[in-house]
Amino acid sequence: MSMSACSLPEKPEPDLYHAFFTRTMAREPVLNVTTLRRLKALSWATDQQLEQLISRMSLRRVERRTVLFTEGAPSDDLYLLVSGVVKLSLRGLEGEDVLVSLVCPGELFGITSLMPGVQQRAFRSEAFSDCWVGVLRPETFVTTLLGVPFADFTAMMGSTISRWFDLLYRYAHFQGLSLRQRLALALLELAQKFGVQDARGTILILQLTHEDLADLVGASRQKVTEHMKELERQQLILRDGRKLIVLPQRLQEIVGLA
């Protein structure tokens, strides 16, 4: 994401810049059809749609460093950033913040509220600067702008966009993980998508070579082979001929999900 999309003034002097930014954020933005249309997320909407959206949107001023939602919080509202910058991050295994994205004015965030079956936030959202944020119910957003029942929209999202969101979530979590943890996470995902339950664990019906696993986790085949042998020795995975049996609960302990 190009930071040039965030319209900020040239920065001649720190004190002048701070004063400009403080004055700008202190003034409540005027929400009307013209101002909303300038936001790229809504530039395509009709005047009537924008007027209806304005009547159903609440505008909030959010001070810098304020947390809008945390990982695991209920995924209910949808947010439109009107001004300022918002940071999306996740908590690493050692407690550090891992940056996922910076949201610029005109972008929507909190989109897990549009995902079927996603009850909790995937990321943490914090105001990177003072902001003005529009808050909407996801069903209001969909029915007003698309004119379709919310249930139909989420069904479509479940069969299309959800897969790519899962990939984003996965690779965001890969940052800062050791190879052992990345491998465990990849095996858990494979077990969820291509697994059949067995008394011993979850059998992977998709046969993968160590080269395939290496491509998935971004490592050499030799290193993956070493770690797979270690996982097998510790009975975190099992072999039945050419079949691989995963023990999800034990693998979850490696990546801190248990």
Residues near 168 by beta carbon (within 8 Å), at least 6 away in sequence: 100
* Per-residue model confidence as pLDDT tens digits over 174-220: 666 788 988 898 898 788 878 899 899 999 988 788 988 887 777 89
Count of Cβ atoms closer than 10 Å to residue 155 Cβ:
12
**Residue-level pLDDT at 39:** 87
Q: Which residue from 73, 107, 113, 114 is spatially nearest to 90, judged by alpha carbons?
A: 73
Q: What is the dihedral of CA 32, 37, 39, 44, to 10 degrees?
A: 140
Residues in the chain, total: 258
* Per-residue model confidence as pLDDT tens digits over 10-41: 444 444 434 444 455 557 888 899 989 888 88
Looking at per-residue confidence, does 94 or 222 come out higher? 222
> 185 near 216, Cβ under 8 Å?
no
* Per-residue model confidence as pLDDT tens digits over 105-162: 889 999 889 988 778 898 899 998 899 999 999 999 999 999 999 999 988 887 777 6
**Residue-level pLDDT at 54:** 94
Q: Kind and range of the H or E element at 28?
A: none
**Residue-level pLDDT at 59:** 95
Given a cut of 80, whether residue 251 has pLDDT beyond it is yes
Given a cut of 80, whether residue 233 has pLDDT beyond it is yes
Beta-ladder partners of 79:
109, 135
Return the beta strands (E) in 38-161 as ranges: 58-62, 67-69, 78-83, 86-91, 97-103, 108-109, 124-127, 131-136
> 213 near 228, Cβ under 8 Å?
yes
Whole-number Å distance between alpha carbons of 112 and 25: 27
* Per-residue model confidence as pLDDT tens digits over 41-92: 898 999 999 999 999 999 999 998 899 999 889 999 999 999 988 988 877 6
**Residue-level pLDDT at 17:** 39
Say what the pTM is: 0.61
Looking at per-residue confidence, does 99 or 74 come out higher? 74
Whole-number Å distance between alpha carbons of 190 and 185: 9
Q: Based on DSSP, count helices (H) and strands (E) in the chain, helices before strands.
A: 10, 12
Tokens of 186: 């990849």
In the structure, what pLDDT confidence band is assigned to residue 1 with cuts at 50, 70 and 90?
Answer: very low
Half-sphere exposure of 138 (CA within 13 A, CB side): 21
**Residue-level pLDDT at 176:** 65
Given a cut of 80, whether residue 3 has pLDDT beyond it is no
In the structure, what pLDDT confidence band is assigned to residue 223 with cuts at 50, 70 and 90?
Answer: very high
